[in-house]
């Protein structure tokens, strides 16, 4: 996984307090997406077939993937038009942004939040949930595009918001690469998803079509 892939940045104003943590948690709705190269996934299953049949096969150790969050609503405000989802899935914008969203995908995210809050943060339950999302839920393909496969989970939850000075020292404290943020802004808006109230891995959207190994595509190589 690419480290940058665990953050999704986008432009939005008027949600954060001027300093520190906001007085209340921020409502957050959107899609957590893991995007894979379709050819690699097909080959992985083809190698499994060869192994089961006793044929010579190659061991697939790691798959290239990008993970990102596509917000639909923040603080009860719609931030993504329904007809923009296709573009966001095909070509997510992960650089040069004013606002960054962190998802609880690993223990180091908890450490970043602890630093910003000034007290111990516990995201153990959320981290376990996100680890399961990658391994246990179905693939989707994108209607009209044959390059990628996706795991796409609709999530509703709450986030803590912070203002962070856009300096090398501040960014380093939360592992934020300089290319992710807008270099011209003096303050970065940072959000941490800290509570998941509901999620649905079986996304119902007309542009996302369930993809089944051994059935949807031929695995012959």
135-162: per-residue pLDDT in tens?
Answer: 778 899 988 888 999 998 899 999 999 9
Evaluate whether residue 216 is within a structural domain: no
Instruction: Give the pLDDT confidence score for residue 158 in this predicted structure.
Output: 95
**For residue 123, is pLDDT > 70?**
yes
Burial of residue 175 (CB within 10 Å: 0-12, 13-18, 19+) is middle
Any domain includes 141: yes
Q: What ranges in the chain are assigned the alpha helix state H? A: 38-52, 85-90, 107-117, 124-136, 168-173
Enter the tokens of residue 145. Answer: 């595009």
- 29 within domain boundaries: yes
Q: What is the mean pLDDT of residues 112-138?
A: 85
pLDDT at 170 over 60: yes
Give the pLDDT score at 193.
93
Residue-number span of the structural domain to which 91 is assigned = 3-211
pLDDT at 14 over 60: no
* Assigned domain for 154 exists: yes
pTM above 0.75, yes or no: yes
Domains identified in the chain, total number:
1
Handedness of CA 15, 89, 94, 107 (dihedral sign): positive
How is residue 188 written in tokens?
């970065």
Q: Which phi and psi angles does 55 have, rounded to 5°?
A: -85, 165
**Mean pLDDT for the chain?**
81
219 belongs to a structural domain: no
């Amino acid at each position: 996984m690419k480290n940058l892939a665990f953050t999704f940045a986008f432009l939005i104003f008027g949600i954060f307090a001027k300093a520190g943590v906001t007085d209340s948690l921020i409502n957050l709705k959107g899609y957590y997406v893991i995007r894979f190269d379709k050819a690699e996934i097909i080959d992985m299953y083809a190698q499994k077939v060869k192994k089961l049949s006793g044929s010579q096969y190659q061991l697939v150790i790691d798959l290239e993937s990008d993970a990102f969050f596509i917000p639909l609503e923040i603080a009860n405000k719609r931030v993504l038009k329904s007809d923009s989802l296709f573009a966001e899935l095909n070509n997510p914008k992960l650089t040069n942004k004013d606002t960054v969203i962190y998802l609880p995908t690993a223990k180091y995210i908890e450490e970043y939040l602890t630093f910003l809050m000034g007290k111990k943060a516990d995201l153990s339950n959320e981290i376990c949930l996100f680890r399961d999302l990658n391994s246990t839920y179905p693939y989707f393909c994108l209607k009209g595009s044959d390059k990628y496969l996706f795991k796409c989970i609709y999530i509703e939850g709450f986030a803590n918001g912070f203002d962070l000075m856009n300096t090398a020292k501040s960014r380093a404290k939360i592992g934020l690469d300089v290319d992710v943020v807008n270099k011209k802004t003096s303050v970065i808006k940072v959000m941490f998803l800290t509570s998941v109230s509901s999620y649905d891995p079986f996304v119902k959207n007309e542009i996302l079509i369930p993809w089944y190994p051994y059935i949807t595509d031929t695995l012959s190589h």
